[in-house]
Structure 1
Amino acid sequence: MESAFGAALVLMLVATSAAQNDCFCPTNNLASCSSESGSCICTARGSNQRLDCSTLTPKCLLMKAEIKTKRGRSFPRPEHGFVDNDGLYNPECDAMGFFKARQCNQTDTCWCVNSAGVRRTDKGDLNMKCNELVRTSWIYIEMKHKERKTPLSESEVANSFRQLIENRYMLHPKFITAVEYKEPLIHIDLKQNISDKSYGDVDIADVAYYFEKDIQGKPIFPPDNMFGLYVNDEPLDIEEILVYYVDDKPPEFSMQRLTAGIIAVVVVVVLAIVIGITVLVVTRRRKTGKYEKVEIKEMGEMRKGQHAQVP
């Protein structure tokens, strides 16, 4: 009797384990999933917000999950070590998983972001105001592939990338406005105005984030959904990727964001203009002074001539 009870218990544990293994988010390997009443429920790590695993997870929730994962590492950090953390931070998300317009860190430093969560202003203190979440309506992606022995045509590359973005990232083809190829450079335009975006459409910012992570070898999709970039059934290896964000309104950076080289160029140009204006003014004054001296000399000679003619 006890052996039968033990066997039944083992079977129950095996079934439970199998059910848990079948419960996962097919679009987010950072999600926390569990079976509840026969349903697989997934939440975002770091925020515990309920996820819709039939589509891409909003970028804001992904960044929170990545920060949570990084902080969970047990390796000690160097006392004075630092990283460029401007791209990845622990964001504030709203109830829909979208970025809040103002973001702050633990040092009470704040800044304004766009709908892609990218900083678009200089940093300030807790009194900083961000009146609206400016939408990123155009994402410009530039890549460079490794050296190849066999050439590729532009149409082959364009078709491969369009199919990849449509199928893997579920983006409607109307939002892929350009795919250009000039060996070894590849350029992709994703454009999506808020008026063109329907309820079921994934956001181009989320697509770009998933795509960039795939290229960098840090996929967000689960391991069984492996990333592969092929052109004519041949793998295409990307060695560089840059993502540019274009907002509905221009960014609000001051001179502080300019690099030292750009500032130096601006200073040189301004000095050249000032020097040019100064030289022009001095030259005109000198010419004017010469003309006045000539006129005075001529007037004196005319008067002498008039006095000589008087009987």
Structure 2
Amino acid sequence: MEPLLGVTLGLILMITSSARSCTCVTNKWTVCDQHASDNCTCRLVGSDHTVDCSTLTSKCLLMKAEMTALKLSYRPRVKLLDGGIYNTDCEDSGIFKARQCDEAGTCWCVNTAGIRRTGKGDKNLVCNELIRTNWVDIELKHKETSHYFEALDVAEAMMHLFENRYKLQRKYITAVKYDSPFIQIHLKQNNLKQQDVDIVDVAYYLEKDVKGDSVFHSDSTFLVSVNGKNLAIENIHIYYVDEKPPVFSMKQLLVDVSAVVAVGILPAGFVIILVIILCQRRKYRQLKVENMSETEGQILELL
């Protein structure tokens, strides 16, 4: 009787262990099913869209799943400002559709980062193409520490983090600069191959990690380690540059600048406006934007 009991308990443990392993490590906004063949299939919350859990999920699908989860939680509805999450419209491949609309029928054109790059209109608004975001600048700030870190060691730690946690090839990391307590990371990706992760998705995952709302499964901890010593990241700013400049009328641009003055948020604008605002917000920090061509005239900040 005892051997039979032992076998039964062993089977239960095996089944339990198998069920626990059927999770999507790279996306917590999923529902996973374990099949008889031991294959694990994961779908986005509220949809039948399957997810490849060996890599990052696109930003568009993540935002859509998060909005679905918010609706299912019955939280009070809030008005989402430009640059925040909204109920996205995605292509089958997972990228943003060039035109996005809200429930009221107001529409606008976006880039591959899902950020508005035109004025708003009705459903007759035409967005001829999805403009690619091919340059992402990330600025991190770490907490005060008694440890001294060499710039080269910090750069290697960040490259290791991007390569292992976010599956980004090193060739897309053009520079990592360290001036304590700031870390600047420059990502460049002119052509996206099918098997490569998008730098836009990497930036979104990193942003969520820093803000304590990681997209990864709960047992995947965000940690920056430099020579065995932890570097606690406390703040992040992300700047996006598109292949083509934004399309805003002067009237719409003035409205956006007014919004900056009113609420301190920059939904879209030109480089000169961004630099002025950033200098005012961080008097002790000077932001330098170098080697900008006319076709790289858009920088948008996610606060």
Name the TM tier (shorter chain): 0.7 to 0.9
Letter of the 1:225 partner, please give it.
S
Give the Å deviation of 1:221.
1.0
Q: Which has the larger radius of gyration?
A: 1
- Of the three residues 183, 188, 202, the one matched with 2:185 is 188
Match of 1:55 in 2: 55
Contact map agreement 2:82 2:115 (CA 8 A) in 1: no
SS in 1 for 2:95: coil
> Does the 8 A contact of 1:64 with 1:90 survive in 2?
yes
User: Contact 1:46 / 1:65 at 8 angstroms: preserved in 2?
Assistant: yes
2:82–2:116 CA contact under 8 A, matched in 1? no
Work out the CA distance in 1 between the residues paired with 2:232 and 2:225: 9
| Aligned partner of residue 238 in structure 2, secondary structure | strand
Post-superposition offset of 1:22: 2.0
Q: Report the Cα distance in structure 2 between the residues aligned to 1:84 and 1:120, rounded to whole angstroms.
A: 14
Per-residue deviation, 1:83:
4.6
1:73-103 CA-partner distances (Å, limit 9, x unpaired): 244x38xx64536420111111111111000
Identical counterparts, % of pairs: 46
Q: Deviations over 1:237-270 (max 9, x none)?
A: 222211111111011123323423999xxxxxxx
Are residue 198 (structure 1) and residue 193 (structure 2) matched?
A: yes
SS of the equivalent of 1:117 reads coil
Match of 2:158 in 1: 161
Q: Give the partner amino acid of 2:31.
A: S
Range with bigger deviation, 10-19 or 111-120: 10-19
Q: Deviations over 1:191-236 (max 9, x none)?
A: 1012xx3221111111111111111111111122211112222221
Task: Please say if residues 23 and 34 of structure 1, whose CA atoms lie closer than 8 Å, have aligned partners that are also in contact.
Answer: yes
C-alpha separation in 2, matches of 1:223 and 1:123: 38
The residue number in structure 2 matching 1:148 is 145
Tell me what 2:258 maps to: 260
Q: Spell out the pairing of 1:111-260 with structure 2 (5 A cutoff).
A: 111-194=108-191, 197-255=192-250, 256-257=252-253, 258-260=256-258
Matched ranges for 1:104-115 at <5 A: 104-115=101-112
Gaps of 5+ in 2: 1-6, 262-303
Looking at structure 1, the residues matched to 179 and 185 of structure 2 have their Cα atoms a distance apart, in angstroms, of 12
Distance change in 2, residues 1:161/1:10 (3 Å) = closer
Cα contact 1:67–1:89 (8 A) shared by 2: yes
Q: For each residue in 1:22-44, what CA deviation from the matched residue of structure 2 results, as whole angstroms up to 9, or x when unmatched?
A: 21112111111001232111111
- The alpha-carbon deviation at position 117 of structure 1 amounts to 1.2
The structural deviation recorded for 1:108 is 0.5
Taking a change above 3 Å as real, the CA distance of residues 261 and 41 of structure 1, as seen in their structure-2 partners, is: closer
Aligned length: 253
TM-score w.r.t. structure 2 length? 0.76
**CA, structure 1 residues 85+13, in 2 after alignment: closer, same or farther (shift >3 Å)?**
farther
Q: Hey, what's the Cα distance between the residues in 2 that align with 1:48 and 1:190?
A: 32
Q: Which stretch has the larger CA shift, 248-257 or 172-181?
A: 248-257
- In structure 1, what is the Cα distance between the partners aligned to 2:178 and 2:8? 60
Tell me whether 1:67 sits opposite 2:54 in the alignment: no
Whole-Å Cα distance in 1 between the matches of residues 179 and 18 of structure 2?
49
TM-score, structure 1 normalization = 0.74
Alpha carbons 1:47, 1:64 under 8 Å: kept: no
Deviations 1:168-199 (A, max 9, x none): 111110000010111222110111012xx322
Classify the secondary structure of the residue corresponding to 1:259: helix
**Alpha-carbon distance between aligned partners in 2 of 1:235 and 1:20, rounded to the nearest angstrom:** 33
Q: Shift of residue 123 of structure 1?
A: 1.6
> What is the CA-CA distance between 1:148 and the residue it aligns to?
2.3
Distance 2:40 2:10 in 1: 21
Counterpart CA distance in 1 for 2:202 and 2:216 is 12
Q: Give the Cα separation in 2 of the matches to 1:177 and 1:47.
A: 37
Aligned to 2:19: 20
SS of residue matched to 2:237: strand
